[in-house]
Chains A and B, each alone.
Chain A
């Protein structure tokens, strides 16, 4: 039987699943870094989180929406991985599962599933856990390279917590804090610091970014303008106040900034579509992160910054459009 179809008769080999697969590949280095620094605990949390998200999406599709399951597009795997990367490695399993529930059922499926959620599911899950269980969410294990069981678990503060401490103290404690150890740039770059599983290793995250740029999964605008805005603000304040708090490099390498800028803010569904919109969005994220980190009671501001900007995405999309061919300033009469 002949088939008739509307043009075009060809399709690009890229589909939703292959895009998601590329994001997962980009997330692998950070996952490996987490395994290296936090051992078995990290693996348990990751597996729980991914499994939890996938199973919940499947259940919602089957028994609530009564439609074929959408888990095969792998987006739930990404949500699970990102949620795990945003948790400390010694998170109790049941708490992780609560996070999965909030991320998938409340933040994603309740809005209608993939492509329709307003807020980044993994971030909603993380923020929910962060507000509900502040102690567990801020108890960071000291990283131990290649010690898989991580037996003698001693806790450590994150760089950001240390910075916060400096901020609210006299110069005397500042000195002691320095002795107590703001980590070295190198340690922060490779990830040998306390923190959430996926956020510690800047090197691994940058590898992921390069992969996604190479595969054209994302454009460079959001990561660049997010980190760039944040850097510039810190730089200006650093120069004008001479306070170590604003040391731009420490600020960028610490906390979830890179994880957020590379993987969370670039989430397709919850970021603007036009290039102009993306730049707006990223600059907004950068400013908010700076404000929350330095002028709120929280040490970390990436999650809140991105979630707040997520809410503005529909508005940004309504106002920022690409230039229609043949109009605009490029048009000059010869």
Chain B
């Protein structure tokens, strides 16, 4: 086995809390009603194709990608469209959503529902890209960047390395971990499919050290697939961040303002690769995903296979939550967003729903910066968060830009480790918003 790799600078070691890594993925079931947002990705919202009263099946296209940076949205249930209007998202804002009342579970005919694994890749590279596009696949790690754009290499650019991101460095989350344990072969086939689309021969599946079972499961499969290898990475946050992962696996660093493609790499999340497999081999568009429901206010944390659009409350009811829930987080505790609406739907990018106890949600007392330089040491991007914070306090956003605040990957290492509890990441984010606004 090759050496354990990691990125060179910064990073932290938060408590892992991977309490669900041995809990098998179970079907969450179908709720009475699903609410599907038309914007579950970075870019323009999809154009709605259905009207109130329309009947839809599982897998029916209900919203069409609007422009290049956008993604299709499919129905995750069968039934009747009851509302096509703004509904409350997790943040409390109202967004365009399609509400579907569930009637039965009727799937589109061409979807292969059999459990057998399809190993033969019959689609041509162009067909693969087209299928990925029509299946509405986006990066399922959290950012939601439409996958077709990443797979469709622009002319003049060269790709020599496909990295499958199985790191999942956020505490609590185990969705990708479980998926790799249970569906290792599908992920490896998915990697081969992407290989074909990209026109290269090799793929590296990066998994971090603290998932021995996933490593074992994937390694068992990769023995019989040429070109797909497992790379074990050190357990360190933010190992799963795209730029840090490329640095760890290949030693190449993505320059500021550039994309992974500029260092000839394509990174895909393990869940996304699984979705690619299902789309290409089983004709199944992206309408369900694995979600970890966990947290210290949950008695029976679990990994669920969830239809997109399922309200969070439906899942929460299944895990036996405690009474004193203080915070609900969509995503991981390091980069996820706190939500105020328990009816908010699961989207393509929701990797977990965490419930934290009232007592474990404390308002940190902010004290003065003691110039301990911890934020410099932990920043994986080599930034100086304390200096950025000082500039933002004085509204000197252009100065903050000069010290590269735009390279911040918002991993939260600085805020996490600041002994004075200064919300350094908040300052960085504010600077980024203000600089982008001025443009």
Q: Residues of A with Cβ closer than 8 Å to B?
A: 2-12, 14-16, 18-19, 70, 73, 75, 113-116, 219, 268-269, 271, 273-274, 321-327, 330-331, 334
Contact = CB atoms under 8 A, between A and B. Distances in A.
The 5 A-B residue pairs with the shortest CB-CB distance in the complex, in nearest-first order: A8-B412, A273-B373, A326-B255, A326-B253, A115-B368
A159 B246 CA distance: 56
Interface stretch (B113-121, B279-287, B415-423): B415-423
Contact of B252 (A3, A11, A70, A334): A334
B171 A327 contact: no
B145 interface: no
B254 interface: yes
Given A12-B12, A73-B367, A325-B243, A4 B338 contact: yes
B410 A2 contact: no
Interface residues of B, number: 64
Interface string B401-414: 00110010010100
B335 interface: yes
B156 interface: no
A30 B97 CA distance: 67
A113 B339 CA distance: 38
B368 A116 contact: yes
A14 B419 CA distance: 6
Interface stretch (B191-199, B209-217, B324-332): B324-332
Contact of B334 (A9, A18, A70, A271): A9
B340 A2 contact: yes
A6 B14 contact: no
Contact of A115 (B247, B335, B371, B377): B371
Interface in B198-235: none
Contacts, number: 148
Interface in B354-393: 354, 356, 358, 361, 364, 367-374, 376-377, 379-384, 386
Interface in B236-261: 243, 247, 252-256, 258
A16 B374 CA distance: 11
A14 B420 CA distance: 9
A273 B338 contact: no
Nearest to B364: A11
Nearest to A16: B419
Contacts of B380: 325
Contact of B258 (A3, A11, A326): A326
B292 to A, nearest CB: 15
Contacts of A12: 12, 14, 416-417, 419
Nearest to B256: A326
B322 interface: no
Contacts of B404: 324
A330 B371 contact: no
A324 B415 contact: no
B373 A115 contact: no
Given A273-B386, A327-B255, A334-B252, A7 B419 contact: no
